[in-house]
């Protein structure tokens, strides 16, 4: 029996990670394959019975896992971001959330006969969307920057706000009791839950902040220390006052998010990785725990409730939130359709359903399957129709021409400046904060982080970006970047600088050409060559080619003192590469690295590609 239990737990973890991989490959929210797997191994086949498997540990494991998930979500809620966000986002996470909460509660009460408080709890649970379901959808659809910004920030901010709302409603239900008797004693119970939750949350957040600020724990223990504190404060808070633990960890996360800690970004990434591991196993357990007989209780009224959420509540909340905004009618229509529910809704609903059943609430068992129905329905419908709808409404970028640069070094900044002057969107990502800071001072859009990090990719706004240029001094990183981003931009639109040993006398090229992107500009145009040219006074200039001054005339005038980089005409771009002809015609703007006196590439270093040699010596 012991070995069988150990094998089942290992299989659950393996299935969870496999579902995450499938979601990554298919570019769909991970919640979908996780829930489908849980339904298959649980209600469908009867192979997994979570309560029998974990016994008395089932409830504590679920509770602690949800506590970590809520804490990780709360770490993203910075008040300064809410204040500076556009009015539409503020309305969506306030007035729009209120419309969804109250409307969902009324619909659940009228259609399914749930008690008012349970119905309002259901309404609070379906408020949350979440970045884990919005992120893959935005990368696939690539809507206009306005829509992308609104959906991204709404999903980030609504996570902790919706979770906090659900926790408060849950605490009210617990204080009232299963008999619906909200007398003075029930009111006092609710006030104790709120008081203990807020006080313990603030105190623990202050404690963690001071420990980190004073460097009382080493860096290698810092993240694990915070994780341990989250678990401890959840348990202590629940001991001091039952059902206050979730409120405590949520408040602690929000406190730390607004404490201006320099290490908060790294802390959030660690917590997110832990959450992914917990979610991968947790969702399979939660979906498998919903019994087959409970699913049979979902009838036409449940489907009607899903229809209300899709076709009434979301459009109404968007309509109220976008009144007087600059969004076009089609942009509002697209926003009114997109609101897939996510991980927080599923995890919190399952936990609350189990807790309320243990407290004697008879209809609480409906919370989990109803919430799962909303999650699966919204994720499937929105993911499968978003691209089509965006194209029909004209809010999807048909052929984005912007540039994502991996690297914000001097050459990357100079090229980005020339492209920005031509009204192209350019986003620079670099791990060197000095480079990023300098780019921002030059008015460029730059992000501090590792472009290869999946968490960084979740945070980037890809609207308007259609090409990836790896411009760092690390040849291996450039190649990895092209491998990573070819799934997003396509293999034809990923480029990298020539490896340092390409064509040299020191031996074989260290990077396999089958794994690299298109070699930028020229086989000899390595990072060191370009950097040296800039330090010697070379600049990037843009020249309009005409019938009177053709590309051949340009090459004859500059000879080896110019290295063509790319050419554009209106919003069409052609990038110069070492493996394809490059001969822009009249009417195109040519962007090149030029030097008044010195050759960019020494004559003896010219490329073996005749087309590129000709473009310098024609």
Q: Give the residue among 458, 422, 423, 417 at the shortest CA–CA distance from 439.
A: 417
Confidence grade of residue 315 (pLDDT, cut at 50, 70, 90): very high
pLDDT of residue 179: 61
pLDDT at 107 over 90: yes
| Contacts of 45-53 spanning 24+ positions with Cβ under 8 A | 46/292, 48/8, 48/12, 48/284, 48/285, 48/288, 49/288, 50/285, 50/286, 50/288, 50/289, 51/289, 53/5, 53/8, 53/9
Domain boundaries, given as residue ranges, for the chain: 2-393, 402-617
573: left (phi over 0), alpha (psi -120 to 50) or beta: beta
Torsion of CA 172, 174, 178, 182, to 10 degrees: -40
User: CB neighbours of 352 closer than 8 A, spacing ≥ 6?
Assistant: 121, 125, 166, 170, 364, 367
| H helix intervals, 27-96 | 31-39, 50-54, 58-74, 79-84, 87-91
Whole-Å CA distances, 195 to 124, 208, 521: 21, 20, 64
pLDDT at 284 over 70: yes
Mapping DSSP to helix (H, G, I), strand (E, B) and coil, where does residue 404 land?
A: strand
Mind listing the pLDDT tens digit for each residue in 509-545? Answer: 444 455 567 888 888 888 888 888 888 888 888 888 8
pLDDT at 345 over 70: yes
Residue pair 343/277 in contact by the 8 Å Cβ criterion = no
pLDDT of residue 508: 43
Can you name the residues that pair with 544 across neighbouring β-strands?
Answer: 589
Write phi, then psi, for 62 (nearest 5 degrees): -65, -45
Please state the length of the chain: 618
Q: What average pLDDT does the segment 477-499 reach?
A: 84
The pair of structure tokens assigned to 61 is 């494991």
Give first-to-last CA distance, the chain, whole Å.
79
CA distance 262 to 203: 20
Q: What average pLDDT does the segment 289-312 reach?
A: 82
Strand runs (DSSP E) across 295-419, as ranges? Answer: 402-406
**H helix or E strand, kind and range, residue 270:** helix 264-289
Q: Give the residue among 383, 379, 439, 376 at the shortest CA–CA distance from 407.
A: 439
pLDDT of residue 584: 84
The pair of structure tokens assigned to 38 is 């849980």
CA distance 397 to 404: 16
Domain 402-617 has CATH 3.40.50.720: yes
Residues above pLDDT 70, as percent of the chain: 87
Mind listing the pLDDT tens digit for each residue in 560-613? Answer: 888 888 888 877 888 888 888 888 888 888 888 888 777 777 654 444 343 443
DSSP string, 106-147: HHHHHHH---HHHHHHHHHHTT---HHHHHHHHHHH-B-HHH
CA distance 108 to 304: 10
CATH of region 2-393: 1.20.1530.20
Mind listing the pLDDT tens digit for each residue in 34-93? Answer: 888 988 898 888 888 887 887 778 778 878 887 887 787 777 666 665 555 578 888 888
pLDDT at 285 over 90: no
Higher pLDDT, 471 or 487: 471
- Give the number of other Cβ atoms within 10 Å of residue 309's Cβ: 23
Mapping DSSP to helix (H, G, I), strand (E, B) and coil, where does residue 509 land?
A: coil
CA distance 11 to 13: 5
Q: Average the pLDDT over each of 191-205, 325-339, 389-403, 509-523 and give the range with the smallest value.
A: 509-523
């Amino acid at each position: 029996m012991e070995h069988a239990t150990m094998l089942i737990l290992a299989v659950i973890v393996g299935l969870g990670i496999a579902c995450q991989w499938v979601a990554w490959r298919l570019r769909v929210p991970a919640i979908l394959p996780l829930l489908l797997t849980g339904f298959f191994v649980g209600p469908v086949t009867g192979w997994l019975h979570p309560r029998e498997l974990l016994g008395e540990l089932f409830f504590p494991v679920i509770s602690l896992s949800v506590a970590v998930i809520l804490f990780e979500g709360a770490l993203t809620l910075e008040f300064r971001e809410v204040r500076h966000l556009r009015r539409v986002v503020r309305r969506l996470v306030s007035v729009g959330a209120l419309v969804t909460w109250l409307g969902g509660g009324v619909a659940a009460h009228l259609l399914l006969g749930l008690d008012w408080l349970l119905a309002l709890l259901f309404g609070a649970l379906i408020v949350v969307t979440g970045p884990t379901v919005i992120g893959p959808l935005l990368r696939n659809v690539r809507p206009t920057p306005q829509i992308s910004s609104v959906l991204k920030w709404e999903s980030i901010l609504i996570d902790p706000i919706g979770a906090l709302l659900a926790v408060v409603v849950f605490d009210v239900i617990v204080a009232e009791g299963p008999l619906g008797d909200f007398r003075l004693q029930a009111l006092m119970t609710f006030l104790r839950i709120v008081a203990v939750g807020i006080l313990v949350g603030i105190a623990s957040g202050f404690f963690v902040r001071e420990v980190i600020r004073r460097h009382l724990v080493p860096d290698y223990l810092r993240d694990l220390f915070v994780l341990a504190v989250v678990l401890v404060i959840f348990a202590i808070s629940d001991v001091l006052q039952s059902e206050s633990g979730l409120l405590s960890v949520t408040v602690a996360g929000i406190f730390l998010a607004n404490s201006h800690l320099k290490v908060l970004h790294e802390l959030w990434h660690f917590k997110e990785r832990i959450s992914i591991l917990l979610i991968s196993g947790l969702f399979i357990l939660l979906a498998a725990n919903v019994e087959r007989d409970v699913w049979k209780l979902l009838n036409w009224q449940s489907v009607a409730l899903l229809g209300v959420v899709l076709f009434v509540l979301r459009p109404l909340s968007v309509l109220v939130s976008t009144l007087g905004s600059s969004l076009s009618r089609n942009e509002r229509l697209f926003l009114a359709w997109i609101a897939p529910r996510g991980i927080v809704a599923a995890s919190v609903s399952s936990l609350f359903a189990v807790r309320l059943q243990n407290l004697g609430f008879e209809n609480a068992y409906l919370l989990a399957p109803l919430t799962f129905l909303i999650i699966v329905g919204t994720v499937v419908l929105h993911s499968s129709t978003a691209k089509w709808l965006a194209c029909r409404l004209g809010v999807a970028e048909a052929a984005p021409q912007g540039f994502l640069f991996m690297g914000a070094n001097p050459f990357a900044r100079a090229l980005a400046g020339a492209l920005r002057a031509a009204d192209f969107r350019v986003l620079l990502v670099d791990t060197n904060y000095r480079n990023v800071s300098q780019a921002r001072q030059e008015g460029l859009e730059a992000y501090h982080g590792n472009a290869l990090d999946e968490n960084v990719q979740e945070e980037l706004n890809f609207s308007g970006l259609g090409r990836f240029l790896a411009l760092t001094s690390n040849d291996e990183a450039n190649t990895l970047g092209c491998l990573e981003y070819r799934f997003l931009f396509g293999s034809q639109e990923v480029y990298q600088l020539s490896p340092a040993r390409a064509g040299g006398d020191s031996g074989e090229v260290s990077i396999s050409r089958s794994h690299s992107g298109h070699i930028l500009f020229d086989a000899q145009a390595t990072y060191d060559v370009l950097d040296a040219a800039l330090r010697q006074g070379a600049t990037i200039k843009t020249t309009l080619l005409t019938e009177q001054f053709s590309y051949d005339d340009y090459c004859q005038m500059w000879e080896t003192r110019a290295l063509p980089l790319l050419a554009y005409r209106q919003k069409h771009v052609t990038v110069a590469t070492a493996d394809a002809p490059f001969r822009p015609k009249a009417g195109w703007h040519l962007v090149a690295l030029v030097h008044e006196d010195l050759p960019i590439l020494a004559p003896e270093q010219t490329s073996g590609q005749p087309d590129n040699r000709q473009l310098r010596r024609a």
